[in-house]
Amino acid sequence: MEYRRLGKSGLPISELSFGSWITFGNQIENNTSERLMDIAYEAGVNFFDNAEVYAAGESEKVMGQILKKKDWSRDSYIVSSKVFFGAGPKVPTQRGLNRKHIVEACNQALQRLQVDYLDLYFCHRPDKQTPIEETVWSMHQLILAGKILYWGTSEWSAQEIMEAHMVAQRYNLIGPVMEQPQYNMLVRDKVEVEYDQIYKTVGLGTTIWSPLASGYLIGKYLNQPPSESRLNRAELGWLSEKLLKENNRKIVGNLVEFAKEIGVSMPQFGVAWCLKNPNVSTVILGATKTEQLEETLKSTEILHKLTPDVMEHIETILQNKPQHPPY
């Protein structure tokens, strides 16, 4: 396993990480969750991603039970939570990025994960109802209290991230270090164009999610996703609507054929393609079965096959390379 720096920070993060979205406390049994974390940790993965909203807090409880049972040295792994959506009944004070919810959600995540501090704490979405100054101050104070080490954002615009940094600079506070955006062969704009300048100006790190477009890039769902797939879950209708388009079906079909030509599997192909972007700090993997995770963890072994010529041919298939503004 290779390790990259999380943006401008000095934190080494494994280039492949493991997340619990949809799976822990939901799709899979707890013993499977434990085995998956074992496989990841033994392979050198040091970042485990979670959030208050995942399975309404159950995901963090399951991960916390596993971490306690394993008794891995606390300085050997990175664990995260995210704040915004809430984990329980959605009364007004139980969601958002106001100081009360940020602090309460952090305390609750610490209890569920059974750790003394969070390595990474993400603002899961921007909050239009809360002044950005309040959010930045709240995160800064949690760092000073020793409850979190680094804070960041998820699915924020470049403008919103820069506003947070401007507030941090104005008041001499600690600004966001990382962003967690969706990134894969079909979803590229934010990571490749929108954030381009802030990689340079503030040293943004990225912990990207959905490298396989919720399994769509594997190529098994070219006709209709099976009933058990993520893209058939009612709560993910917004995602399937974006992905299940006729043009995308043709693109994935052509990618599947090209992967066969160069002798790689589609799961490894999709993950390795994300890793080729130097602005990606880590690719978050998900799995419901041990063999799925074992396969994607080997994605780094095919990086040498993604030569400049191969990457160029991928672009001819995708036909979706984001264009930078002409200024």
Q: Which residues are catalytic?
A: 54
Which of the 8 DSSP states describes residue 84? S
Angle at 197 between CA 313 and CA 208, to 5 degrees: 60
Closest CA to 127 of 165, 164, 88: 164
Report d(CA 159, CA 105) in Å as an integer.
25
Are the C-beta atoms of 321 and 189 separated by less than 8 Å? no
- 80 pairs with which residues across the strands? 120
Q: What are the beta bridge partners of residue 12?
A: 5
85: amino acid identity, one letter: F
E-state strands within 171-236:
178-179, 205-208
- CA-based angle 189:193:197, to the nearest 5? 145
Residue-by-residue DSSP string for 92-123:
GGGSSSSHHHHHHHHHHHHHHHT-S-EEEEEE
Contact 161, 194 (CB under 8 A): no
Task: Tell me which DSSP letter residue 287 carries.
Answer: -
- 295-to-24, 201, 264 alpha-carbon distances in Å: 19, 36, 11
